[in-house]
Chains A and B, each alone.
Chain A
Amino acid sequence: MAEQHAVDGKQPTYGLIAQYDDVTSLVHACEKVKNAGYSKWDSYSPFPVHGIDPAMGIKPTKLPLLVFAMGITGTCVAILMQWWMNAHDYQFIISGKPMWSVPANIPVAFELTVLFAALTAIFSTLARNALPRFHHPLFQSERFARATDDKFFIGIEAKDGLFSAEQTRALLESTGAVAVDTIADDSKVNHKLPKPIVWFIAISFVAGFIPLGFIAKAWVSTNPAPRIHPNPNMDFQPKFKAQTANPHFDDGRAMRPDIEGTVAQGALRGDAAFERGLDASENWLSGYPTQVEISDATMNRGEERFNIYCQPCHGAAGYGDGPVARRMVLLQEPKWVAPTSLNQGYLRTMPEGKLFNTITHGVRNMNGYGHMIPPADRWAIIMYIRALQESQLSGGSN
């Protein structure tokens, strides 16, 4: 059992320390202490002494395994995070890359691996060393202050089963120690932080939650008041926005209705025949409006425009086998509807005005091209379509 003598009748003993002035005697002394069977003891030096681990019987730490495990955890966290955030929860399409782009995820995965591993290494070492520990009985000794300068020490705790004031002292003296001192155990004495500091830390810690509280409250609540603009930017612009009031007008609205009879530029659909393909009795026009010149020039223009706008789907000869259509077949697109072949009977007899309407507004799965092709070009295309239909009817020789 440990003998703990009261020193000065007041405090129990913490242990004995022995001072050495050089590395060699320290290491030899450590071997002797280890061989004597002590377990609650340690040596102290201003720098790590090579060779002291085997002399003291210090076993290699298991820290590397923990660091490795946490590093791998970091890798997994990073990959999972990136997958979930960019490929699952809110999918981003970035330059056509796959949603889950593993090559792009590697840098962040690597960084988090290192971060997790490094933080683990530092904090677990501090924890295993039981640091920070601001008070230690050894700090009472003035002599011990040289442990971080140029002297070396061995300290054997009184708590060790083999400790005895006389025998342990004798052992240490026999190892060639320059001095052997008794250290009192003053851990029972109140060595707490000064009150003001404790209060300061406690208050700061609690106060740290206040901004978080505000944020949390804002998160879950709504507020009718307008937002605060720390930097106004262009948030308040001297203009009237839609749905706001404007006192300068009788009706008080900022949005003004169109003046009676206003037509936007280019929107005048004056000529029903030319602009909409309708004849005088609002039926589909057969033939061409008067503005359309029946000539080679119009036909050539129609051919050129057909090859630009229509050929991709309908094909060069109008059979619905254009490159887009063929690619959709190749990709086996499930929702693809084949473009209509223009050479079918009902399309040969369909009035030109209805064709015009189809080009303008689209039909079934085809979009309208009215916004892209001016009316004159639409009529030219129709002229060319007629020529195509004619040519396919007579075996393509016309």
Chain B
Amino acid sequence: MSSAAKTLDANDSRLTPFEGGGKLFTVGLVLGVIGLGGAAGVGATQGDHWVGFFHSYLVAFCYFLAIALGGLFFVTLQHLTRAGWSVTVRRIAELMAGALPWLGVLSLPIVIPTVMGNHALYEWADATIRANDHILHHKEPYLNNTFFLVRMVVFFGFWSLLARFFLKNSTAQDTSGDAALTSKQERVAPVSMLLFALTISYGAIDLIMSLMPHWFSTIIGVYYFAGAVMSSMATIILISKYLQSKGKLKGIITVEHYHDLGKLMFAFTFFWAYIAFSQFMLIWYANMPEGTMFYAPRQEGQWVTFSVLLLFGHFIIPFIGVMSRHAKRKTGILAFWAVWLLGAHYLDMFYMIKPTLIAIHGMAPGQLHLSLTDPLCWIGMLGFFVAAVGSGMKKHRLVPVKDPRLSEALAFENY
């Protein structure tokens, strides 16, 4: 049944900027400084030339980068497919993508030391190591300090500009109601999507795959992308729940939207497992050292338990939990699983990055090498992410109120 084309008033209190965003901004900044500062303090005293600190930092960084990139992907995709259902949640994704410039700045503690030749994270950053290693010498045209810098600038530049483009045009439409702005964003979407695919892939190659520079896998970009979309869907769900608990967006984001977000979260949980399995099984099957070197440290000691934890926690349990229609339409249950999957995403990043401490930096095999820097870095990054999104919530309306397809989003019903 179709209802009358519903519209919303631009000054409807449910969608006007969220005043609490200011508080989120402040609290987030404080948390960020304390978290990262504390981690730096701990890292300085660990006596490992910052190696442990940088790895913890990278885990937390890649975690939130994935969420922000997932938000950017969602926005681009909705414009590419001319979707109607998602208009009411799109602004939230736009605000999540708004964290990308912040992440660009937060990438500096990784990028600057690497560019200057510090190999606490990336072995290949040191010119002497490159010269003495036959394989790294071969890769030098790509894995060198200058090109790395150029790529990071290009990636974060592109992501930030694209996020800003969408947010700017989308919020401009809040006041003008000009349908041509939608057409403009739709025209940009296809090429942007292609560039997004390339930048996220090479970003994953640079940040994660080159940690073990002798190893390679053609699917690493897709792997990171899968985790990014899954965790960004979970984040949109949680942000929506939060805002609704503060009196915003009630009746605008309905159970139908949660259902759809839940379906996407579910689908990408499965997609992540499919990609992770493809990568693992193919390397396991051919059993060639250039592939198995990645999994070898992850199959010893405590890492065996961790791998099982990842399999069950990131796939099997949430897959069964989110499968039913009921779970996706009861927002309390859905929020539970969103939190669960965000926890699983941390396990994923930890799994991808931390064993480098063993394989490259010679720490004891079979150990997880947990350290205070891990939670502190994560809290710090969380703080800055919250600050970024919070500041956006304070400045902009929470829904693209004059989007031409808003009525579709308000009225649709699921099967």
Interface size bracket, B side: 10 to 19
Residues on A with C-beta less than 8 A from B277 are 103, 106
Residues on B with C-beta less than 8 A from A50 are 1, 413
In contact, B324 and A103 (Cβ under 8 angstroms): no
Residues on B with C-beta less than 8 A from A68 are 323
CB-CB under 8 A for A51 and B1, given A64-B324, A68-B323, A103-B285: yes
Complex Cα distance, B43 from A216, in Å, reads 75
Q: Mark A31-63, 1 if CB is under 8 A from B, else 0.
A: 000000000000000000011000000000000
- In the assembled complex, B280 has its CB within 8 A of some CB on chain A: yes
Q: Mark B277-294, 1 if CB is under 8 A from A, else 0.
A: 100110011010000000
Question: Contacting B287 at CB < 8 Å: which of A64, A95, A106?
Answer: A95
In contact, A103 and B280 (Cβ under 8 angstroms): yes
Complex Cα distance, B285 from A64, in Å, reads 35
Residues on B with C-beta less than 8 A from A97 are 285
Q: From A71, which residue of chain B is reached at the shortest CB distance?
A: B323
Complex Cα distance, B285 from A96, in Å, reads 10
Residues on B with C-beta less than 8 A from A64 are 324-325
In contact, B284 and A103 (Cβ under 8 angstroms): yes
Residues on A with C-beta less than 8 A from B325 are 64
Residues on A with C-beta less than 8 A from B280 are 103
In contact, A96 and B287 (Cβ under 8 angstroms): yes
Complex Cα distance, B287 from A160, in Å, reads 69
Residues on B with C-beta less than 8 A from A103 are 277, 280-281, 284-285
Q: Mark A339-355, 1 if CB is under 8 A from B, else 0.
A: 00000000000000000
Interface size bracket, A side: 10 to 19
Complex Cα distance, B325 from A6, in Å, reads 48
Which residues 281-326 in B have Cβ within 8 Å of A in the complex?
281, 284-285, 287, 323-325
Task: Tell me how far the C-beta of B327 lies from the nearest C-beta in chain A, rounded to whole angstroms.
Answer: 12
A-B contact count (CB 8 A): 18
Q: Mark B113-129, 1 if CB is under 8 A from A, else 0.
A: 00000000000000000
Complex Cα distance, B1 from A106, in Å, reads 43
Which residues 76-98 in A have Cβ within 8 Å of B in the complex?
95-97
In contact, B281 and A104 (Cβ under 8 angstroms): yes
Residues on B with C-beta less than 8 A from A51 are 1
Q: From B323, which residue of chain A is reached at the shortest CB distance?
A: A68
Q: From B280, which residue of chain A is reached at the shortest CB distance?
A: A103
Task: Tell me how far the C-beta of A201 lies from the nearest C-beta in chain B, rounded to whole angstroms.
Answer: 38
Complex Cα distance, B414 from A50, in Å, reads 11
Residues on B with C-beta less than 8 A from A95 are 287
Residues on A with C-beta less than 8 A from B284 are 103
In contact, B1 and A104 (Cβ under 8 angstroms): no
Q: From A49, which residue of chain B is reached at the shortest CB distance?
A: B1
In contact, A104 and B324 (Cβ under 8 angstroms): no
Complex Cα distance, B323 from A64, in Å, reads 10
In contact, B285 and A104 (Cβ under 8 angstroms): yes
Complex Cα distance, B282 from A104, in Å, reads 10
Task: Tell me how far the C-beta of A202 lies from the nearest C-beta in chain B, rounded to whole angstroms.
Answer: 42
In contact, A106 and B281 (Cβ under 8 angstroms): yes
Complex Cα distance, B397 from A211, in Å, reads 74
Task: Tell me how far the C-beta of B226 lies from the nearest C-beta in chain A, rounded to whole angstroms.
Answer: 17
Which residues 1-56 in B have Cβ within 8 Å of A in the complex?
1
Residues on B with C-beta less than 8 A from A106 are 277, 281
Complex Cα distance, B277 from A68, in Å, reads 22
Task: Tell me how far the C-beta of B236 lies from the nearest C-beta in chain A, rounded to whole angstroms.
Answer: 26
Q: From B2, which residue of chain A is reached at the shortest CB distance?
A: A50
Q: From B320, which residue of chain A is reached at the shortest CB distance?
A: A68
Complex Cα distance, B251 from A66, in Å, reads 34
Complex Cα distance, B413 from A103, in Å, reads 40
Complex Cα distance, B325 from A282, in Å, reads 92
Q: Mark A8-50, 1 if CB is under 8 A from B, else 0.
A: 0000000000000000000000000000000000000000001
Q: From B274, which residue of chain A is reached at the shortest CB distance?
A: A110
Complex Cα distance, B324 from A55, in Å, reads 24
Q: Mark B157-185, 1 if CB is under 8 A from A, else 0.
A: 00000000000000000000000000000
Which residues 320-379 in B have Cβ within 8 Å of A in the complex?
323-325
Task: Tell me how far the C-beta of B319 lies from the nearest C-beta in chain A, rounded to whole angstroms.
Answer: 11
Complex Cα distance, B319 from A68, in Å, reads 12
Residues on A with C-beta less than 8 A from B324 are 64
Task: Tell me how far the C-beta of B277 lies from the nearest C-beta in chain A, rounded to whole angstroms.
Answer: 6
Complex Cα distance, B287 from A95, in Å, reads 9
Q: From A23, which residue of chain B is reached at the shortest CB distance?
A: B1
Complex Cα distance, B97 from A239, in Å, reads 79
Q: Mark A85-124, 1 if CB is under 8 A from B, else 0.
A: 0000000000111000001101000000000000000000
Q: From A65, which residue of chain B is reached at the shortest CB distance?
A: B324
Q: From B1, which residue of chain A is reached at the shortest CB distance?
A: A51
Complex Cα distance, B311 from A106, in Å, reads 13
Complex Cα distance, B284 from A95, in Å, reads 11
Residues on A with C-beta less than 8 A from B281 are 103-104, 106
Interface centre among B280, B285, B325 (most CB of A within 10 A): B285
Task: Tell me how far the C-beta of A90 lies from the nearest C-beta in chain B, rounded to whole angstroms.
Answer: 21
Complex Cα distance, B413 from A98, in Å, reads 50
Complex Cα distance, B1 from A41, in Å, reads 23
Residues on A with C-beta less than 8 A from B413 are 50
Complex Cα distance, B1 from A68, in Å, reads 31
Q: From A72, which residue of chain B is reached at the shortest CB distance?
A: B320
Interface centre among A50, A96, A103 (most CB of B within 10 A): A103
Complex Cα distance, B303 from A40, in Å, reads 61
Task: Tell me how far the C-beta of A238 lies from the nearest C-beta in chain B, rounded to whole angstroms.
Answer: 45
Complex Cα distance, B20 from A231, in Å, reads 83
Q: From B277, which residue of chain A is reached at the shortest CB distance?
A: A106
Task: Tell me how far the C-beta of B36 lies from the nearest C-beta in chain A, rounded to whole angstroms.
Answer: 39
Q: From A68, which residue of chain B is reached at the shortest CB distance?
A: B323
Task: Tell me how far the C-beta of B321 lies from the nearest C-beta in chain A, rounded to whole angstroms.
Answer: 12
Complex Cα distance, B325 from A51, in Å, reads 18
Residues on B with C-beta less than 8 A from A96 are 287
Q: From A24, which residue of chain B is reached at the shortest CB distance?
A: B1
Complex Cα distance, B145 from A330, in Å, reads 45
Which residues 253-280 in B have Cβ within 8 Å of A in the complex?
277, 280
Task: Tell me how far the C-beta of B276 lies from the nearest C-beta in chain A, rounded to whole angstroms.
Answer: 11
18 contacts between A and B (CB under 8 A): A50-B1, A50-B413, A51-B1, A64-B324, A64-B325, A68-B323, A95-B287, A96-B287, A97-B285, A103-B277, A103-B280, A103-B281, A103-B284, A103-B285, A104-B281, A104-B285, A106-B277, A106-B281
The 3 closest A-B pairs by CB, nearest first: A103-B281, A103-B284, A51-B1
11 more CB-based (< 8 A) A-B contacts, given A51-B1, A106-B277, A106-B281: A64-B324, A64-B325, A68-B323, A95-B287, A96-B287, A97-B285, A103-B277, A103-B280, A103-B281, A103-B284, A104-B281
